[in-house]
Amino acid sequence: MSNWIVYSIGFLAQILFSGRLIIQWILSEKSKRIITPSAFWKLSLFASFLLFVYGHLRDDFAIMLGQALTYYIYIRNLQLQGEWQKSPKWLRLFLFVFPILIVIYAYNNGEYDIDKLFRNDAIPLWLLLLGIISQILFTLRFVYQWVVSEKTKTSQLPVGFWRMSVLGASLILMYAIFRKDPVLFVGHIAGLIIYVRNIFIWKKQMRYEMPHKDYKTTENE
């Protein structure tokens, strides 16, 4: 497959990832608090779908690993918001099994195996390890978000999610520079700005909510 098609898939995925953040950011700015709209998870799922394909076409294990780990968390958040159940059954089934099918297909057709994934001539071992570590750290933010959401039974984006996003995105930017991957670089440099902004929104939210909590406590006493 030609490079321009592969890169087009990757850039489309990053545009969708950036789009989810812009929507979330605008809604949060308007409400003066961190908002988690269902569009955030819908765009996340579609973008993850495309980026998984991009990673497969680029033989980039780090990208595929990152998407495989977060893909089902996006689905779970849609379930918590009651949006997943609204989709047609065939679409839910397809999206649910897609990452598994593409791995089985590629493995059975000899497109890659464990040796090929970890011994890509275009990616030195130290760079592959940097990519894997950065993707794992970046992915852990969604594991943290998922745990918090399961506890409260509501889909939300706590401040810890944004702090972990800043750390993970910074490492992925380093990986993208060494890997000379414009798709990863453009996507994460734009996201980094919004991650930092959400932390500031949270701080303003806390400054506003704390006096009101203290007032309500005093009133109840």
- Residue 107: CB atoms within 10 A of its CB come to 12
pLDDT digits (tens, 9 = 90+) for 39-76: 999 999 999 999 888 888 887 776 777 787 788 999 99
Rounded distance between C-alpha atoms, residue 146 and residue 119, angstroms: 33
pTM of the model: 0.75
Token pair for 70: 């977060």
pLDDT digits (tens, 9 = 90+) for 1-45: 678 899 899 889 988 988 999 999 999 999 888 889 999 999 999
Token pair for 112: 């890659």
Closest CA to 195 of 74, 45, 18: 18
Closest CA to 189 of 206, 169, 171, 209: 169
What rounded mean pLDDT belongs to the chain? 83
114-119 contact pairs (CB < 8 A, 24+)? 116/59, 117/59, 117/61, 118/61
